[in-house]
Amino acid sequence: MAYQTIDITKRGDILIVRLLKESIYLTIAEKFREEFVPLLDQEIQHIILNFEKVNVMNSSGLGVLIMARDKLDKKKHIIAVCGIRSVMKDIFLRMRLDLLFNLYESEDEAIADIERSK
């Protein structure tokens, strides 16, 4: 399946989701939700969201992340976020999302930590 807002890679039981848009708001946020939410029902254990390209995300996009975190948390699965730029990092910290998500500088760091926690 071709995606417009994300690129996915599977590494064992970890699904790496790279967000492809710099700005995720309005119709892009809705498209992101449509593409990302079905992935939560796949037979994966953990998800890493790579934010390297994202400059801004509105509340709709952030709501998708929180919903995904809640859904995976019920299954005792991990959702991690990596590659956050300074503007998005400020948003995460202001909204206290750093308490809901494990934040990492890189995919490799996130993968290593998930592997250690198994």
E strand or H helix at 73, and its extent? helix 59-74
Query: Would 103 be classed as within a structural domain?
Result: yes
E strand or H helix at 104, and its extent? strand 102-104
Q: State residue 2's pLDDT score.
A: 81
Q: State residue 43's pLDDT score.
A: 81
Please list the rounded mean pLDDT of every run of 10 residues in the chain (118 residues).
Answer: 92 96 94 96 91 96 96 92 95 94 96 92
Query: Would 15 be classed as within a structural domain?
Result: yes
Q: State residue 54's pLDDT score.
A: 97
Query: Would 69 be classed as within a structural domain?
Result: yes
- What distance in Å separates the CA atoms of residue 82 and residue 43, rounded to the nearest whole number? 22
Query: Would 1 be classed as within a structural domain?
Result: no
The total number of structural domains in the chain stands at 1
Q: Is residue 101 a contact partner of residue 73, using CB atoms and an 8 Å limit?
A: no
Query: Would 57 be classed as within a structural domain?
Result: yes
Q: State residue 83's pLDDT score.
A: 97
Q: State residue 118's pLDDT score.
A: 77
Q: What contacts 114, CB < 8 A, 6 or more positions away?
A: 14, 46, 48, 78, 80
From the list 24, 82, 94, 80, the residue with the least C-alpha distance to 55 is: 24
Domain containing 83 equals: 6-117
CATH code where residue 55 lies: 3.30.750.24
Q: What pTM does this model have?
A: 0.94
From the list 42, 111, 45, the residue with the least C-alpha distance to 73 is: 45
